[in-house]
Structure formats: structure tokens, C-alpha cells
Chains A and B, each alone.
Chain A
Amino acid sequence: MFSRLMHSRSTVAWGLAALVILTGAVVTTARVERYSQRPYLHDNLYLPSGQLARQVSLGYRELAADMVWFSAVQYYGGYRKSYHDLAYFEGLVRIVTDLDPYFVFPYQFGAAVLASDMASFDRGIELLRKGMVNNPTRWEFPFEIGFLSYIGCEDNDMAARYFELAARLPGGGDRARRFAAFVYSRAGHQENSIRMWQELLETSDVPWMRELAERSIEKLRAKPQERATRNDT
């Protein structure tokens, strides 16, 4: 009887202790939550350089690049939600591209953000040039350098040269040729423009693209004649 009483008392004591501990755990978890969600704007201040990150990652560079890329994407998301500015964005992208130089998307996304959100076309082009050095066979890099040079720097000569370079690389094809031809014409290099349209006419499989090339060549060839006729009169 006594032992049963003692047993039931100890069960109650254990039950009470468990209740107190559980309540404490729930309350502290709820209280601590507000601190864990506090905005700490300078999380990325102590990020290592790309070179150090390469050594610290011990051969798991691609995995490390992915992790930093997650941070970069979330950091950009924080900027879009107006939590902070983009002070560390470029640094994050540089670490990603140092860790995994063949990871193409961060160059493209990084350059677009630098050019559009940070209004720094030069830094965007610089990042794309780094991508081009590391991935010389990818047409996307010269194409996007051309695009930023045309849109942002308004340097038609440079833009046309990069578009032509993109057209020479595998995959560049119709789109790069069309852009090169158009920008050469804008830059006043009619001969080069005709040459690019001619290439497009000969290589494209798309009927409307070939029609466009034909019309453009006619127009460009007609222009000097018009000018000559005007000069005569």
C-alpha cells in the first residue's frame, strides 16, 4: 500500500517536472524567436575573399559556390523587399564566380542587377568579362556585354563588335547576328551591317529571319544610292 502510494507520488512528481520543463521550453522558444528574427544587416560583412573561400572549401568548391549563391539570391530578395541596400551583392557574386568559374548564371544575373538596380553598367560589363575569360566558348557573355554597351554605355561600336563575337561562337546564331547587323548600322558601319545580314540570310533556318535579312540588305544598299541622288540634285 505504502509502496504504491510512493510510486504514485513519484509519478505525479515526474509528471509535474515534465510539465514545468515542457512549459519552460515552449515559453523560451517563443521568447527567443523575436531575437532570432532580428534583422542583422551586416551578415555578409565578414565574408571571405573568393581565393580564401576556395581554400577553405577543401575541394568542395561547387557546393560552397551553391551555398553562397543561395545567400546572394536571398540577399537580393531582401533588397527587393526593401530590408537593405545592395552593398554586399557584388561581393557575394564575386565569391560565387571565384569558387565556381563555370557557373554561368551568377555572372548574368549579377551583371543585370549591377546594371539595372545599381546603375553601374561598367561593373556589370566587368563581371561579364570575367565570365568570358573563364568560359571563352559561351556566346552569352559577349552577347550580354554587347547589350549592356548598347543600352547603358551607348557605345555602338563596342556593342556591335561584341555581338559579332557572340555570333561567331556556338549557339550565338541568328539572334547575335541580327543584333550585330542592327547595331553596326546604327554605328554607321553599313558595310559591316550588310555583311552580318548576308551571313544571317545564308545561315538562318527561320523563314521570317531570312526575309528580314533580305529586306534589310535592300534597304541598306538603297541608302547610299539615295544619298548619291540627293547630292547630284
Chain B
Amino acid sequence: MPIFTLAKFTIRGYFKERILLVVLIFAFILMGASYVLSPLAVGAQQKIVVDIGLAAISIFAVLLIVLLGAGSYHQEKERGILKALLVKPITRTDWVLGKYAGTLLTVALVIISMALIHMIVMKVSGAPITENFFWAVYLTVLEAGVVTAILTLFSSYSSPVLASFFTICAVVTGHLSNDLLAFAERFSGAVPKVVATAAYYLLPNLGLFNVRSEAVHSLMLPDGFIYTVTLYAVFYTLVLLLLSILIFRRQELH
């Protein structure tokens, strides 16, 4: 099981980088923000506690993937660790999948820890913890899975700075993908319409993973929504990982 060993190795590496500090910083920001800001928000004290917490979990998760992931992928290539690993019975596919699993598990662990801290803050401030809150956290983990796969793809062929930059661009456009479709409908020419529509389907639709509004306002989620979005995330991630493996297998290591 080289993938699990590699995943374990990756997680251990991240923990050495004092990743838990992120969780602690998050806890302080969250508690500080909810106590300082909520009295200023006339009529929306509890809403603001929930909003800030859920948004912070999502933002921290993406930041963590980009900051830790890109560096880690590159470090192993640069320091020759990867070359040494590949001498052992570990394939390049194993390395990509193990690295992906390790990064995602670490981020998922951090997301869950942040969600637990947030639940304590919600409890203290009297904000109700609804079922949709758990779905919002679950979908943030799924989003992290897709973003980690995007980073894996870019890290397989570019420098850490470029991989981080491309991943952030993909996250930004992924949140604007619905607008692309709206633009496509407004374009008069056939070519721009086709390009915009193709971009809409190719780019990750990260807006799907955002049910924070539903969590804050206790709104109903459509039937089969979670199931469909989960399948979308799984298949989108698999396609990205497949591409990463194909690129990485052709790459020469120096």
C-alpha cells in the first residue's frame, strides 16, 4: 500500500510545518471577531457569527492548500526525496495519489477542527446549529478535494509560485463560472458563445459547493443536491488526477 504510506508521510510533513497553528489562529480570529463585531451588527449578531465562521473555514482551507501544497510538491522534487522514493517499489502514480491523499486528509482534518471550534463559538453566542451547517462543512471538504486536485495538476508541471497562482486563478474563475454562462448567452457571435460555454463546462463550478446562505438562513436544499454535487466533485477530481498522472509520468526528474 504505497499510496497510504506516502499519504502518511505527507501528513507528517505538514504537521512538522506547524499546521496546527493555523487552527489556533483561526480559533482566536473567530472568537475575537464574533465578540468584537457582533455588537456592531444591529439585528444580525448571530448571523454574523455563523457567516464569519463558515467563510473563514472555506478561505482558510483554500489558503492552506495553496500555501502548503505547492511548496510540498516542489520540495520533494528539489531535495531529491522524490528520486530516492522512486527507487523503491513506488510508481509515479502512487506518488501523485499519495501526495493528493495526504494533502486532502490534512486539509480535511483542519476543516473539521475549525468546524468544531466554530460550533463551540456558535453555541456560546446562541446561534442555532442546523443540519445545513454540517452540509456546508461537508461541501467545503469536497471543494477542498477539487482544489487540491487542481493544485496537483499544476504542480505536476510548473514551479510552486506558478502552481499557486494558477490554482488561485482557477478558484476565482470557478466561483465566477455561472457568470461565464450568462456572458455566453449575451454574446452575439457563435465563436465567443462556444468558447464561453466550453469554459463554463471545463472550469470547476465551485459555486456548487457553497451552501453557506442555506446554512445561515436555514433554507431548504433541493432534492438530490448533495448526492449530485458529491458525484460531480468525485468525477471532476478523478479527471484532474488522471491528467496529473499522465503529465507526471512523462516528466524527467533532475
Docked Cα-Cα span, A65 to B207, in Å, equals 17
Chain A: minimal CB distance from B37 (Å)? 7
User: Taking the complex as formed, is A55 at the interface, i.e. its CB lies under 8 A from any CB of chain B?
Assistant: yes
Instruction: Say yes or no: A105 contacts B42, CB within 8 Å.
Output: yes
Q: Does B55 have its Cβ within 8 Å of any Cβ on chain A?
A: yes
Residue in B40, B59, B176 whose CB lies within 8 Å of A73:
B40
Given contacts A58-B172, A59-B206, contact A70 B41 (CB under 8 A): yes
**Given known A-B contacts A69-B44, A102-B219, A105-B42, A62 and B213 have beta carbons under 8 A apart:** yes
A105 touching B37 in the complex, CB below 8 Å, given contacts A55-B179, A59-B206, A60-B55: no
Interface centre among A62, A69, A74, by most chain B C-beta atoms within 10 angstroms, is: A62
Minimal beta-carbon separation of B186 from chain A (angstroms): 14
Interface string of A74-103 (1 = CB under 8 A from B): 100000000000000000000000001011
Which of these, A62, A74, A106, contacts B212 with CB under 8 Å? Answer: A62
Closest to A56 in B: B176
**B189 CB-CB contact with A under 8 Å:** no
Nearest-CB distance from B221 to chain A (Å)? 14
When distances are taken between beta carbons in the complex, the residues of chain A under 8 Å from B43 are 105-106, 108-109
**Interface check A161, CB cutoff 8 A:** no
Q: Which segment, of B46-54, B84-92, B105-113, B225-233, faces chain A?
A: B46-54
Chain A residue numbers with a CB within 8 Å of B40 are: 70, 73-74
A16 lies within 8 A of chain B by Cβ:
no
Cα A69 to Cα B52 in complex, Å, equals 13
A109 CA to B88 CA, complexed, in Å: 67
Name 16 A/B residue pairs within 8 A (Cβ), A-sorted.
A58-B172, A58-B176, A59-B210, A60-B55, A60-B59, A62-B47, A62-B212, A62-B213, A63-B55, A66-B44, A66-B51, A69-B41, A73-B40, A102-B219, A106-B43, A108-B43
Within 8 A of B (CB), among A30-46: none
Contact of B41 among A55, A58, A59, A73 (CB under 8 A): A73
How far is B44's CA from A109's CA once the two chains are assembled, in angstroms? 11
Q: Decide yes or no whether B217 CB sits under 8 A from chain A.
A: yes
- If over half of A's interface residues share one DSSP class (helix, strand or loop), that class is named, otherwise mixed; here it is helix
In the complex, whether B216 has a CB less than 8 A from a CB of chain A is yes
- The residue of chain B having its C-beta at the shortest distance from the C-beta of A62 within the complex is B51
Contact of A61 with B by CB under 8 A: yes
Residue pairs across A and B with CB atoms within 8 Å: the count is 57
Give the distance in Å from the alpha carbon of A58 to the alpha carbon of B209 in the complex.
12
Hey, which chain B residues are within 8 Å of A59, CB to CB? 58, 175, 206-207, 210
Could you list 13 further interchain pairs (A-B, Cβ under 8 angstroms) beyond the known A60-B212, A70-B40, A103-B47? A55-B176, A58-B172, A58-B176, A59-B175, A59-B206, A61-B213, A62-B54, A62-B55, A63-B55, A65-B51, A69-B41, A105-B43, A106-B43
Residues of A near B213 (CB, < 8 A) are: 61-62, 100, 102
Q: Is the CB of B216 within 8 A of A62?
A: yes
- CB-CB under 8 A from A63, the residues of chain B are 51-52, 55
Complex alpha-carbon distance, A89 and B176, angstroms:
28
Nearest A-chain residue to B51, judged by Cβ:
A62
Question: With A55-B176, A62-B51, A66-B52 given, is the CB distance from A105 to B210 under 8 Å?
Answer: no
Whether the pair A58, B44 counts as a contact (CB closer than 8 A) is no
Nearest-neighbour CB distance to chain A for B232, whole angstroms, equals 16
User: Does A73 lie within 8 Å of B52, measured CB to CB?
Assistant: no
- Give A30 to B149 CA distance when docked, in angstroms: 50
B206 proximity list for chain A (CB < 8 A): 59
B171 nearest in chain A by CB position:
A58
Which residues of chain B are near A109, meaning CB under 8 Å? 42-43
Question: Could you say which residues of chain B place their CB within 8 Å of the CB of A60?
Answer: 55, 58-59, 212
A96 nearest in chain B by CB position: B44
Interchain CB contact under 8 A, B48 and A66: yes
A70 to B47 Cα, complex, angstroms:
13
Docked complex Cα distance between A103 and B179 (Å):
23
What residue of chain A has the Cβ atom nearest to residue B178's Cβ? A55
A108: B residues at CB distance < 8 A: 43
